[in-house]
Chains A and B, each alone.
Chain A
Amino acid sequence: MPRVLLVEDDPAVRKGVQLALGHQGHEVSPAATGEEGLALLPSFRPDVVVLDLMLPGLSGLDVCRHIRERDQVPIIIVTARGDDVDVVVGLEAGADDYVVKPVRARVLDARIRAVLRRLAPSAAEGVRPRPETHGTLTIDRTGLVVTHEGRQVPLAPSELRLLLTLSASPGQVLSRQQLLEAVWEHSYHGDIRLVDACVKRLRSKLGEAARYVHTVRGFGYCFRAA
């Protein structure tokens, strides 16, 4: 039973989402403010955080950044306005996905399950138990651990799955639409800004190895060591 930390200031929405996610089989811990949510994090140890961006006091974006400082727990942001700038900033702050209010419980549930699947080793990758090396980067597909020059790189679920997907076939160009479907399990017409923001975050975390992730202008992205 996935444990969901829900940070939402409006009591009715909080109650409704808690009710609906509980109905879908999630264990929900609600928090009315960002501060409360951050305080609950160590004790509740959620599998996923559902975070409203419009919060009184500490904003959703700040909460997102605070969580990412020490934790790679999946974060799904809820934006009330569907504001384009908010979405991009939220994604760059480390969110794995976003939904726009009003959202149906079934949609939110699907997103939560999709984000959790990014942390489960897929069957196809199970056949390669040994860590692979790409230049200075070592990728352990079974243990879901990425190390760069011996140091572990802390990657959020989307970043990790994006790297795994790109590096599964080095040299092959994947379009943004393909990555959306493979990593986020979104439809073909999902928001390609998810991909761009995630690539940006991934590169910033990979340090020296950032240059392995190539932008192929007009087509998409491609992973190639050296």
Chain B
Amino acid sequence: MSRPAQAAPAGRAGPRPGRTGPWGRALRALRGLRVRLVVGFALVAAVSALGTGLLAFREARTGVLQQSQDVVIKQFRDSVDALTRGVRASPTQRELQSLVDAVAGAHQSQGWQVLATYEGLRAASGSAETFGRLSRELREAVAERPAAVFQRVDAGGRPYLVVGLPVVYGSGRGGTVLSGLACYLVVAQDTEQAYVTAIIAAVEHATLSALGGAVVLALLAARGVLRPVRALRGATRRMAEGHLDVRLTVHGSDELADLSRSFNDTAAALEQSVAELRRLEAQARRFAADVSHELRTPLAAMAAVTDVLDEEAPRLDGRTGDAVRLISEETARLSRLVNDLMEMSRFDAGAAVLALDEFDVAESLRHTLAARGWGDLVETRLPPPGAARARLDPRRLDVVVANLVGNALRHGAPPVRLSLGTRQDPTEGAWLIIEVTDEGPGIPEAALPHIFERFYKADATRARSESSGLGLAIAAENVHLHGGRVRAANRPGGGTAFSVELPVRRA
């Protein structure tokens, strides 16, 4: 039953060099529906063909052999009866020999080898070796019973029919009396053997044809079943890749067609709800962008005059002065918030682009600290000039570092440290590693995964702060825009560590 197993991998799952390994794929193909169908069909076909063949074979073989042996025995008996009539009750060796020769001579064309025994005498029509073909049981049976005995023997690959015929006296009322004379016939059964061989060959042919037909039918059936299954699999994969508009063509009205139809319905429903979600999300984002944009114009007018207010405030009396200062401060805060919101909207809209330049990153970090007056508040561990050059957007790097250091200064405890290093990755090339650490209480573990989310506040009591609540989110977006990674973690010894990895990308 090795044919179906060989036929199976000849399908689409043929050996292909790949990372999954040809063996695994072949194994999977062997357990596949196609192989199972082919094996099933082939088994059924083989069992029925062989069963029918064997039954027919047995009947035919029996019939052929029975008929031929009946004919042979009858002819032998007739010959022996006719020729023993003139032989004396106790024949001499010569008489015995002439009897044998006469019987054999009468059937020369049939290739009879005739033997005769009488007490100690033996005669054979051919060579005396023929006696070797007479088995002991046969001779004993002939000696004891007054009936013809036959046996099929196989000598040197050729089948022989051996017939033993005891010669009896009279068959009257007194019963038969064994004369002691026994004749034997040894005849090759080549013709019969050829018949039997032909029957076997016919059965073999029939079985093989049935097997072949079964395999073809199984493959056809498998194809009929597998085509929709494969289409379904492909469609599911495409859907997983995000192509929600994928649909199947439905043929017929069987269970597979039903399955395809319900797949289509599910896909349509999914597509619709995803489209709805996307629409809502886009609407929400556009709304945020529109709001920030609309806020910007009145804010522009207010921001323009805050400096006038700041300068006039000291000259105004207490309460009015305080009110004016409050308006000025909150206008500045509102400006920062709106600016951050606008920045976020640009990231959402995919409108943020990198203005890349190659520069000394250590120098850039020093400038970031100096520009905000943090030079004395932050401990730095930076490489010497020229040691860490990279191709980045300097303005965005400034935003990233300022947001992380600002966050550490506000929420962490001193000393705040800023370090810069490089890492050589064998596959990804060189990376810059910027780390900002503090010695504060750290961030609650539950808050860590959300720390870069918009307006996320790790500590509910710290509702008000200098930042807009978008600082870390903007930092993360800027890092991602560079193709980099940003991470926040609590340090084993206490405090928080923010680390930024950026690809160096030298020109």
User: Do A and B associate with each other?
Assistant: yes
Beta-carbon contact of B367 and A10 below 8 Å: no
Q: Which residues of A contact B298 (CB under 8 A)?
A: 12
Within the assembled complex, what's the spacing in Å between the Cα atoms of A5 and B395? Answer: 30
The answer to whether A177 and B297 touch across the interface, beta carbons within 8 angstroms, is no
Task: Say how far B237's CB is from chain A's closest CB, in angstroms.
Answer: 38
B311 — which chain A residues lie within 8 A by C-beta?
A: 23
Contact of A177 among B300, B332, B359 (CB under 8 A): B359
A80 within 8 A of B: yes
Contacts A20-B307, A20-B308, A102-B335 given; indicate if A15 touches B301 (C-beta within 8 A).
Answer: yes
Contact check, A105 vs B395: say whether CB atoms are below 8 A apart: no
Decide if B304 touches A103 in the complex (CB within 8 Å).
yes
Q: Tell me if B79 is interfacial: C-beta within 8 Å of chain A.
A: no
Tell me whether B368 and A189 are in contact (CB under 8 A): yes
Main secondary structure, interface of A, reads loop
Provide the residues of chain B in CB contact with A187, threshold 8 Å: 367, 371
Provide the residues of chain A in CB contact with B447, threshold 8 Å. Answer: none
Docked CA distance A190–B368 (Å): 11
- The A47-101 residues at the B interface (CB cut-off 8 A) are 80-84, 100-101
Please report the C-alpha to C-alpha distance between residue A13 and residue B368 in the assembled complex, in whole angstroms: 31
**In the bound complex, how far is the Cα of B286 from the Cα of A146, in angstroms?**
49
Given known A-B contacts A13-B301, A189-B364, A217-B507, A84 and B353 have beta carbons under 8 A apart? yes
Cβ of A44 under 8 Å from chain B = no
Task: Output the residue of B343, B351, B391 with the most chain A CB within 10 A.
Answer: B351
Q: Tell me the smallest distance from the CB of B480 to a CB of chain A, in Å.
A: 17
> Which B residues from 324 to 382 make CB contacts under 8 A with A?
332, 335, 338-339, 342-343, 346, 351-353, 355, 357-359, 364, 367-368, 371
Residues of B within 8 A of A104 (CB): 303-304, 306-307, 332, 335
Chain A CB within 8 A of B430 CB: no
Residues facing B in A151-191 (CB within 8 A) are 175-177, 187-191
Chain B residue, CB-CB nearest to A106? B307
Give the chain B neighbours of A191 by CB distance below 8 A. Answer: 355, 395
B293 in contact (CB, < 8 A): yes
Q: A224 at the A/B interface (Cβ < 8 Å)?
A: no
Contact yes or no, A81 B293, CB < 8 A: yes
Contact indicator B358/A102 (Cβ below 8 Å): no
A16–B353 CA distance with the chains assembled, in angstroms: 32
CA distance in complex: A223, B355 (Å)? 23
Q: Is A192 an interface residue (CB 8 A)?
A: yes
A contact residues around B332 at 8 Å (CB): 104
Binary A-proximity of B293-317 (CB < 8 A = 1, otherwise 0): 1001111111111111001000000
Q: Cβ of B394 and Cβ of A189 under 8 Å apart?
A: yes
Closest Cβ–Cβ distance, residue A107 to chain B (whole Å): 9
User: Whole-angstrom distance between the alpha carbons of A59 and B299 in the complex?
Assistant: 22
Residues of B within 8 A of A80 (CB): 293, 296-297, 300
Partner of B308, one of A19, A84, A176, A190: A19
Known: A83-B351, A84-B353. A101 touches B297 (CB 8 A): yes
Residue in chain A with minimal CB distance to B328: A104
Q: For the complex, is B398 an interface residue (Cβ under 8 Å from A)?
A: yes
CB distance from B378 to the nearest CB of A (A): 16
**A199 at interface by CB-CB < 8 Å:** no
B contact residues around A177 at 8 Å (CB): 359, 364, 394
Q: Is B506 an interface residue (CB 8 A)?
A: yes
Structural contact, B306 and A101, CB atoms closer than 8 A:
no
Interface status of A198 (Cβ within 8 A of chain B): no
CB of B357 within 8 A of CB of A192, answer yes
Nearest Cβ on chain B to A45's Cβ, whole angstroms: 24
Cβ contact within 8 Å between B300 and A103: yes
Q: Which of B293, B301, B346, B506 is A12 in contact with, Cβ under 8 Å?
A: B301
Residue-wise interface mask of A (1-37) relative to B, using a CB-CB cutoff of 8 A (1 in contact, 0 not) = 0000000001011011101100110000000000000
> What's the nearest-Cβ distance from chain B to residue A109, in Å?
8
CA distance A80 to B359 in the complex (A): 30
Cβ A13 vs Cβ B300 within 8 A = yes
Q: Give the residues from 99 to 139 in chain A that come closer than 8 angstroms, CB to CB, to chain B.
A: 100-106, 108
Q: How far is the CA of A143 from the CA of B492 in the complex (A)?
A: 65
Is residue A207 within 8 Å, beta carbon to beta carbon, of the partner chain? no
Q: Inside 8 A of B359's CB, which chain A residues have their CB?
A: 175-177
Residues of A within 8 A of B346 (CB): 82-84
B391 in contact with A218 (CB, 8 Å): yes
Residue of A nearest to B353 (CB): A84
- How many angstroms between the C-alpha atoms of A177 and B392 in the bound complex? 13
Docked CA distance A209–B304 (Å): 42
Q: Which residues of B contact A106 (CB under 8 A)?
A: 307
Q: What's the least CB distance linking A33 to chain B, in Å?
A: 16
Within 182-226 of A, Cβ neighbours of B (below 8 Å) are at 187-193, 217-219
Given known contacts A81-B342, A192-B357, is B308 in contact with A23 (CB within 8 Å)?
yes
Tell me the nearest residue of chain A to B311, going by C-beta.
A23
User: B358–A19 contact, CB under 8 A?
Assistant: no
- What's the Cα separation between A82 and B339 when bound, in Å? 9
Chain B: minimal CB distance from A164 (Å): 22
Asked if A19 and B305 sit within 8 Å, CB to CB, the answer is yes
Residues of chain A within 8 A of B368, CB atoms compared: 189
Q: A120: shortest Cβ distance to chain B, in Å?
A: 25
A188, B355: Cβ atoms under 8 Å?
no
Closest chain-A Cβ to B79's Cβ sits at a distance in Å of 118
Chain B residues positioned under 8 Å from A189 (CB to CB): 364, 367-368, 371, 394-395, 398
Is A219 touching B308 in the complex (CB atoms < 8 A)? no
Q: Contacts A20-B308, A218-B358 known; A192 to B300 CB distance under 8 Å?
A: no
Q: Which residue in chain B gives the minimum CB-CB distance to A11? A: B301
Shortest CB–CB separation between residue B132 and chain A, in angstroms?
106
B404 CB → nearest A CB, Å? 15
Contacts of A219 in B (CB 8 A): 358
Chain B: CB-nearest residue to A191? B395
Q: Is B305 within 8 A of A102, CB to CB?
A: no
Q: Is the CB of B301 within 8 A of A16?
A: yes
* B357 touching A102, Cβ below 8 Å: no
- Between A and B, 23 residue pairs with Cβ closer than 8 Å are A10-B297, A12-B298, A13-B300, A15-B301, A16-B305, A17-B301, A19-B304, A84-B351, A84-B353, A101-B297, A101-B299, A102-B339, A103-B300, A105-B303, A105-B307, A187-B371, A188-B367, A189-B364, A189-B367, A189-B371, A192-B357, A218-B389, A219-B358
Given contacts A83-B346, A102-B304, A218-B389, 14 further A-B contacts (CB under 8 A): A12-B298, A13-B300, A13-B301, A16-B303, A20-B305, A81-B293, A82-B343, A101-B300, A102-B335, A103-B300, A104-B335, A188-B367, A189-B367, A193-B355
Instruction: List the 5 shortest-distance A-B pairs measured between CB atoms, nearest first.
Output: A102-B303, A16-B301, A16-B304, A188-B367, A12-B301
